[in-house]
Amino acid sequence: MTDSSLSTQNILPLFHTIRGQRVILAVDLAKLYGVPTFRLNEAVKRNQVRFPTDFMFQLTRMEVVAYSTSQIAILKQGANVNHLPYAFTEHGAIMAANVLNSPQAVAMSVFIVRAFVQQREVLAANDAILKRLAEIDKTLLQHNAALGDIYQQLLPLLQPQPDPSRPKIGFREPRARYGLQKV
């Protein structure tokens, strides 16, 4: 990626949710850091103590198949998975920049961290919005119940009550006047 096309908006699509964590795959991280994927993997293997499971994990075959058919294209059609890809969390991406120790990796790690932070802020804002919507929904349900009660109490008042002192207006059957009975 060139400096002119560099922004967190370009990095955000590379994030995926796997095992409930926001991660970036090794192949995408290697492109951002300007190294071949196998070089990134070598650096990670040489420095495994720097990559605990909350920094990086390797996908299982089932995850690769599941994600290749849904949100990420890890596999090409009919490809055989010899090396399962790594997924890096925010801290793992920073640590990868440290073990690669190239100027481009260090510079890119800043953008990757900013993208993770932006993603976290968006998720936090969504949580706040969902909480507020739940409060509004609860209030609306309470108001709906109260309005239903008011409507039920007003309904008898809205129905016209016949006044027995007033004669009925309209057509009357002549039978009653002439003493005819209904059959």
Cα–Cα distance list, 183 to 44, 142, 173 (Å) = 101, 55, 14
d(CA 89, CA 73): 19
d(CA 138, CA 133): 9
Tokens of 151: 């409507």
d(CA 73, CA 75): 6
pTM: 0.55
Q: pLDDT tens across 6-55, in order?
A: 566 677 778 888 888 888 898 888 888 888 888 888 988 898 888 888 88
Q: pLDDT tens across 62-120, in order?
A: 888 776 654 445 544 444 556 788 899 888 888 888 888 777 776 777 777 777 777 77
Residue 92: which of 120, 48, 55, 119 has the closest Cα? 55
A 10 A CB-CB count for 173 gives 9
d(CA 77, CA 99): 33
For the chain, give every domain's residue range. Answer: 3-131
d(CA 28, CA 9): 14
Cα 92-96-98 angle, rounded to 5 deg: 115
